[in-house]
Amino acid sequence: MKVIPFSCLLIYFGCNHPIPAPSKGTDRTPTAASTSTHPGAADFDFSQIRVIHQPPAPPYPSEAKASGIQGSVVVELTVDTHGIPTSAKALSGPIELRHTAEAYALKWKFSPVILNGVPQYARFKLTMPFRLRVTTPAK
């Protein structure tokens, strides 16, 4: 199990890494922009959450890239008692980047959040900056 420290969680999109396919046999398949968060989810600050798996950044959304759209998307993420995301909803940021941010957030894995010795549903905000890479033409 690899734990990624909070200080290493800058996410820059634009890499040409494919988004990994969901593993077969997964019975929990949350959807991006799901509005059904767990009613008993406790609110936490992201600095209190331990990341177990941060997948490679997805490709930059092609329409946003062609239009030169950049910015940060704030996603509200709810995770279950096992640290698996169950819902993701973009709260702010460029509209053209929100779906990609929500879908990407659902692929992360976290340590279960423990409160008074009991695993809890947890809700927190994750900020994802989207920055286009500047390329200079070869001479």
Separation CA 18–CA 131 (nearest Å): 17
Residue-wise pLDDT tens digits, 101-132: 999 999 999 999 998 999 999 999 999 999 99
Paired tokens of 54: 């941060």
**Cα Rg for the chain, rounded, in angstroms?**
16
- The structural domains of the chain, with segments of one domain joined by +, span 37-130
Give the architecture-level CATH label for domain 37-130: 2-Layer Sandwich (3.30)
pLDDT score of 136 more than 90: no
pLDDT score of 77 more than 60: yes
Separation CA 34–CA 106 (nearest Å): 10
Task: Give the contacts of 122 (CB within 8 A, at least 6 positions apart).
Answer: 41, 42, 43, 44, 49, 78, 79, 110, 113
pLDDT score of 31 more than 80: no
